[in-house]
Amino acid sequence: MYLSQDEERMLQGEFGEVVQRMFRLLVRLGDIYGADKMIPVGSVQVAGVSYKSIGEPGTLYLEDVASKGAKTQVITFLNPAGMDLENWKALGFPKNFAKNQLRIIDAFKQMGIIITTTCTPYLAGNLPRFREHIAWSESSAVSFSNSVIGARTNREGGPSALAASLCGRTPRYGFHVWENRQPAFHIHVESNLTYNADFGALGYHVGKIVKDKIPYFTGITNADTDQLKALGAAMAASGAVALYHVEGLTPEADLVKNEGLEKITVTKKNLDDTFDKLNEGTTPDIVILGCPHASLREIAVLAGKIKGKHLRKPIWICTSRMMKEAADRMGFSQTIEAAGGHVVADTCMVVSPIEDMGYKQIGVDSGKAANYLPGFCKQKVNFANIDRLLEKVL
């Protein structure tokens, strides 16, 4: 792989031991995947933030990197943590977990990483442009930035994203290269899609079929950005889809080659079967929305639906701190609290230690959360649209 003079100096250790170690990792990755050179990145998003995911070894590693003075070279946002960083006590997060989670946050902060703790950085102040090279790691954020924005990122692991942040570069391979952004499947959708959950069901179904290949959708006549983030998140979870195109909606759909692809039709029955398959129980202990992290519009919709009502079971809606601030200002959070729910920032149902907080069955409207909750969090799942979920708890 070609390296510039500065990059050779990084490799020789002239910028310190941490940068040398991190850059070596990037070079190794580039060699494995056949990169021709390094490219500068416009921004980074680092996953591997929850103490539940990285445990003590990961925490010690981050503390070690931070203690050696390593600093970010480009704007870097953080994925959700394992708890609401401000309101964890009131929400019942375990004290010992909180202590360790805050060690991780401190380490990232020392490196200059912005403590945004969200999987929707594009809603919270880190919006890449079309064709910008970035190095993001959370799978739904990767899917959204590649597909809906048309930025270019591979699905980075926590360590490679951190390395990209501290070196300001990533190896040029995979989705950074135009030839690798071409679709492999034509997915024709014959069902109406109304709720965000319908897009989650579609994504779950298609991800299982296409696995890590790129789908090109037709038949989706309209979708807002919340629905596209639900679609991408579910496909990234049930398969490993990091990029998709939707005819007439996503920016590269008109540019890629879409002839001669294997065609698969998705019917209403396929989606109904997906909902059935992901419904394990009858009454949830709690409903948790906001996977991926809710937009202000999604919080407003929930507030509108439960205004003046009384919930028999709690509802959380997970979001970024920035969206919560705006929701507080607009009175949406207060409406949700008055009904017995919570707007929870910085975390989500999957990366928080929800299984240690007395919950056994969770209602979700996210195909991604429905995919992960049984395995990661030992939860039974009710996967349904927001109105069906509310019927169970109002």
- Where does this chain bind ligand F3S (CB under 6 A)? 80, 119, 138, 140, 233, 291-293, 318, 348, 350-351, 368-369
Whole-angstrom Cα distance, residue 208 to residue 218?
A: 18
Give min distance, CB of 120 to ligand F3S, in A.
7
- Residue 140 or 274: the one with the smaller Cβ distance to ligand F3S is 140
- Residue 313's closest CA among 377, 387, 389? 389
- Do the beta carbons of residue 153 and residue 249 sit within 8 Å? no
- Taking Cα atoms as reference points, which of 141, 68, 65, 137 lies closest to residue 108? 65
Question: How many whole angstroms separate alpha carbon 97 and alpha carbon 99?
Answer: 5
Beta strands per DSSP E along 3-109: 38-40, 44-46, 76-78
279 membership: H or E segment, kind and range: none
Nearer to ligand F3S by C-beta: 53 or 73? 53
**Rounded to 10 degrees, what is the CA torsion of 316, 318, 321, 327?**
-60
Q: Which is nearer to ligand F3S, 137 or 270 (CB)?
A: 137
Q: How far is the CB of 143 from ligand F3S (least distance, A)?
A: 10
Nearer to ligand F3S, 173 or 372 (CB): 372
**What is the smallest separation between the CB atom of 50 and ligand F3S, expressed in angstroms?**
9
Say if strands 38-40 and 169-171 run parallel, antiparallel, or are unpaired: antiparallel
Min. distance of Cβ 35 from ligand F3S in angstroms? 28
User: Shortest Cβ distance from residue 148 to ligand F3S (Å)?
Assistant: 14
Strand-pairing partners, residue 294, are: 319
Judge residue 314's burial from the number of C-beta atoms within 10 Å of its C-beta, 0-12 exposed, 13-18 middle, 19 or more buried: middle
CB of 381 to ligand F3S, least distance (A): 13
Comparing CB distances to ligand F3S, the nearer of 172 and 368 is 368
Report the residue number, 216 or 372, with the smaller CB distance to ligand F3S. Answer: 372
